Structure 1
Amino acid sequence: MKSLKIYLILLGLTISQLVHAEPKSPNWPKIYADKLFQLTEIMVTDVASPPVAARIYAYATLASYLTIQEQGVKFKHLSLLGGTYLAQNSWSTPNASLKSPEFAAIIAMLQVGEAIMPSGYLLKERQEEWISEALKAKIISKKELQVHLEYGTEIAKSVMEIAKKDGYLQLSTLTRYTPSQGEGFWYPTPPAYIAAVEPEWKTIKPFFIEDLAAYKPTPMAPFNLTEGSSFHTQLMEVYTVTQELTEEQKLIANFWDCNPFMVDFSGHMAIGIKKISPGGHWMGITGIAAEKQQLSFAETAYVHALVGLTLHDAFISCWQAKYETNRIRPETVINQKMDQRWRPLLQTPPFPEYTSGHSVISRASAIVLTGYFGDNFEFIDSSETYFGLPERPFKSFLLASEEAAISRLYGGIHFRDAIDEGVKQGEKIGKMIWERTK
């Protein structure tokens, strides 16, 4: 009987501890990544081009970071995060002290997504879902809800005012792009022969880069089909490598494909294949790293904004190089000069070849992520599982960026110098941004 009394007392104490235990804190990195992926899903639906997707990520993640920062989180100051462009803009900050600036930050991110994307209205339902989730989890109360919504809305509006000044709205007024005439110049590629994508993207304002000329790649190998020339050697490399691919090389190429313009044909019907953008892949990696480190919400918001702004600037620099060189794609020259039946493993994206966008943006992202999380940060990249591809483990961000770069050779869509010089271009951009923010 005495043993039973002791047992009941201990049981009572255990129940009491459970009842009065602190509620489990939210897994903010996972919540943040999940909510950001809701924007990614809309981008896939809209077939957002790689540079446009990067712009969306930049402003949406900036809104979430500004919301948390303006609530007094002493983590990183805006002047370090935004560079010259943001410093030239000002906005009024709502005067409120929030119980959950995290809740308001996600609202701001979703509202920027709603405002900035053609199908952004689909995010209205996602905002309602987030409100229900937050109330159920007691992140906020019904009494506190309105002030949080108003705060997030005001931040989102301020960020969209900044976005209106970056030159995007003026793109449609610029002279229409026409492919250059003559050998060696880019021309639309099969199977859909899509017109050139974002040829005037160099006119968009970067966040950090103050002089685009400082980040131009070294000159590419000139078009020359003479045996032994640099261009011919690289051309033969693409032709040979793609016919001798191992299963691992094919997997690597497909894992990093990230071509939102991929089209399949069934008879006379063209079917778009849903794929994430290159920037979306690196935002996914950022979320994976944040959750592995169990970052605070402020740190999670900061590192996503940092990568988002880095992607934005890297694409502007890369797209300037692409449309200043207007270089032909391997598929076009091989079909014209060597083998009409040859097709690359990956579908050729609809823009000029030099430099490789994956090489530039992957290296720039990897540099800032390495600066933030450290060298040899091991992670399992599950960014592509949603699109039916298996996870891949990496021992560091830099190794992941190297694989992303070489995947373009395996895929048959880039020459070697576009890959190598793209890596150098991205490294220079990434190092500049990290030095300015660290």
Structure 2
Amino acid sequence: MSLAKPKPVNWPKHYSEQLFHITEVMVTDVASPPVAARIYAYSNLAAYLIAKESGKGFENSDILGQTYLTDYNWDLPDSELSSSEFAAIYAMLKVGESIMPSGYLLKERQQEWIDIAIKGKILSKKEIQMHVAYAESVAASVMAVAKKDGYLQLSALTRYTPQKGEGFWYPTPPAYIAAIEPEWQTIRPFFIKDLEAYAPAPMALFDMTEGSPFHNQLMEVYTTTNELNDERKLIANFWDCNPFKVKFSGHMAIGVKKISPGGHWMGITGIATQKAKLSFAETSYIHALVAMTLHDAFISCWKAKYDTDRIRPETVINQKVDQRWRPLLQTPPFPEYTSGHSVISRASAVILTGYFGDNFDFIDSSETYFGLPERPFPSFLYASEEAAISRLYGGIHFRDAIENGLAQGEKIGDMIWTKVNK
């Protein structure tokens, strides 16, 4: 009588599930979109490092050689791992623990991951300790790099103050939250060497003269939001991804749990890896590449936002057109130009299209945890187009911020994809 063969491990599913635990903590911490992208970048980088060090399936997939880390000495300990996959995911969780204010919540998840490995016979109890020690060493090396990227210096920089005069950004209802991450352009990117090279095309200048480019766009937002059908409302809400959304009950402000824009695209990446049944090497590679692309795209976008300091539709419509008007979506607390969703969605879509192909259809279930239905897409680029236009339907962006944001993201995505495929 022959013994039954052990079931193959579904590594893409494990990877996505464990990465989502990091997302859950970000939601708890109300991590801003750029901060969330930074967390995804370093946590996925840790997993990629271990997977790559194992040598399994990494003959032609080097990311680090195209970043500023090309000559960095990681000083990884010598070790023959029985499961580099287990160690990679554990390191990812360990970086998440170290890099987030509420990261301690991941300690329980780390133990759960150990239990899964033992129960699934991925590792024996005797092997666990060595694998955990290795993963913790790699996580510490990644955190040493993270501590030098400028993030720890942000609190010492001059605080942002809204500019006086028409056309400049000002805090918006209902919570009038202060500007988020105004100095994010000082954070070090992985791939971008010159931020100016990825600046968007010029925006329409503030001009309330009837028929001016700015006024036309303003009235487009006003008219579009007043004539939304159910499908457009669904699209706007599906891509909302505003971690700062607040509801009021009497005098009490209540935060509404929302995934970040980057978190949505990390979710899409996980969905694609599972559909394609990738190996663990491929899974860790594409997650790290998308996460690091998100990081760079947010830095570029946030530089544009605070360089232009442009007013949001809600502010100018209330001042000049209709005092009672409110956008379908709650306006996020930072300047308008360019649209972050447009920039990071297109950059991510370019990377995913390069990896999985032009017409890779998928069902996006990234938002089901937050009460939204699944949504099918025929391609990543189509999804990025919908994510971008959702900001017009939501009433929070002008058209040029959307279209020029898409172009900005495409330029970043093309550069990164070209670099890693030299």
**Does TM-score exceed 0.5, indicating one fold?**
yes
Contact 1:79 1:87 (C-alpha < 8 Å) held by counterparts: no
Using a 3 Å threshold, how does the CA distance of structure 1 residues 25 and 79 change in structure 2: closer, same or farther? Answer: closer
**3-state SS, counterpart of residue 254 of structure 2:** strand
- 1:165 is aligned, of 143, 148, 157, to 148
Mapped pair 1:29 → 2:29: no
Give 1:54's aligned residue. 37
Identity over aligned pairs, percent: 74
2:245 maps to 262
Residue 88 of structure 1: CA displacement? 4.7
1:216 aligns with 2:199: yes
CA deviation profile, 1:139-183 (whole Å, cap 9, x unmatched): 000111111011101110000001011000000010111111100
Moved more, 144-153 or 42-51: 144-153
User: Which of 79, 95, 98 is matched with 1:112 structurally?
Assistant: 95
Other-structure match for 2:174: 191
**Which of residues 21, 25, 28 is equivalent to 1:38?**
21
Which residue is 2:284 aligned to? 301
Q: 1:124 to 1:77 in 2, by over 3 A?
A: farther
Contact 2:57–2:282 (8 Å) recurs in 1: no
Is the CA contact (8 Å cut-off) linking 2:301 and 2:343 kept in structure 1?
yes
**Paired residue for 1:289, among 244, 267, 272?**
272
Q: Aligned in 2, Cα 1:82/1:418: closer, same or farther, shift over 3 Å?
A: farther
TM-aligned CA deviation for residue 243 of structure 1 = 0.4
Q: Tell me what 1:375 maps to.
A: 358
Shift of residue 237 of structure 1?
0.1
What does residue range 215-234 of structure 1 map to in structure 2 within 5 Å? 215-234=198-217
Moved over 4 A (4+): 76-79
Contact 1:85–1:205 (CA under 8 A) maintained in structure 2: no
Say how many residue pairs are matched: 421
Unaligned 5+ segments in structure 2 are none
- Please name the residue that 2:83 is paired with: 100
Report the CA distance between 1:73 and its aligned residue.
2.4
Query: Which of 364, 367, 375 is the matching residue for 1:384?
Result: 367
What is the distance in 2 between the residues matched to 1:78 and 1:191? 47
CA contact (8 A) 2:297 2:343 kept: yes
Q: Deviations 1:19-51 (Å, cap 9, x if unpaired)?
A: x13201111101000000000000000000000
Q: Is 2:61–2:420's contact at 8 Å kept on the other side of the alignment? A: no
1:320-399 aligned at under 5 Å gives the runs 320-399=303-382
Given residue 406 of structure 1, which amino acid in structure 2 is its aligned partner? Answer: I
In structure 2, the residue matched to 1:275 is 258
SS at match of 1:86: coil
Counterparts of 1:134 and 1:313 in 2: how far apart (Å)? 34
Matched residues in 2 for 1:173 and 1:266: separation? 35
- 1:407 has 2:395 as partner: no
Matched, 1:148 2:138: no
The one-letter code sitting in structure 1 at the alignment partner of 2:180 is V
Question: Is this contact kept in 2: 1:81–1:306, CA < 8 A?
Answer: no
Aligned-partner residue type, residue 218 of structure 2: L
Q: Deviations over 1:97-121 (max 9, x none)?
A: 0110000001100000000000000
Q: Aligned partners of 1:118, 1:310: CA distance in 2, in Å?
A: 23
2:68 is paired with a residue whose SS is helix
Contact 1:242 1:412 in 2 (8 A): yes
| Bigger Cα Rg | 1
Q: Is the 8 A contact 1:220 1:417 kept in 2?
A: yes
- 113 and 82 in structure 1: CA distance in 2 versus 1, 3 angstrom threshold: farther
TM-score, normalised to structure 1, is 0.95
> Once the two structures are superposed, what CA deviation does each residue of 1:196-245 show, in whole Å capped at 9, x if it has no partner?
00000000000000000000001100000000100000000000000000
Q: Which amino acid aligns with 1:122?
A: L
Letter in 1 for 2:358: D
SS in 1 for 2:86: helix
Q: Note the C-alpha offset of 1:83.
A: 2.8
CA distance in 2, matches of 1:161, 1:299: 26
Q: Which residue of 2 aligns with 1:174?
A: 157
1:238-253 maps to which residues of 2 (within 5 A)? 238-253=221-236
For residue 411 of structure 1, what is the amino acid of its counterpart? G
Deviations 1:377-412 (A, max 9, x none): 000000000000000000000000000000000000
Deviations 1:353-390 (A, max 9, x none): 00000000000000000000001000000000000000
Residues in 2 aligned to 1:215 and 1:433: alpha-carbon distance in whole angstroms:
12
Q: TM-score, normalised to structure 2's length?
A: 0.98
Partner-residue secondary structure (3-state), 2:166 = coil
State the Cα distance separating 1:79 from its structure 2 match.
Answer: 5.2
Instruction: Note if contact 2:191-2:416 (Cα within 8 Å) is conserved in structure 1.
Output: yes
Task: Report if aligned partners of 2:244, 2:256 keep a CA contact under 8 Å in 1.
Answer: yes
Separation in 1 of the partners of 2:404 and 2:361? 26
1:82 Cα offset (Å):
5.5
Q: Distance in 2 between matches of 1:27 and 1:246?
A: 41
Q: Secondary structure at the match of 2:226?
A: coil
* In structure 1, C-alpha distance between the alignment counterparts of 2:119 and 2:149, rounded to whole Å: 39
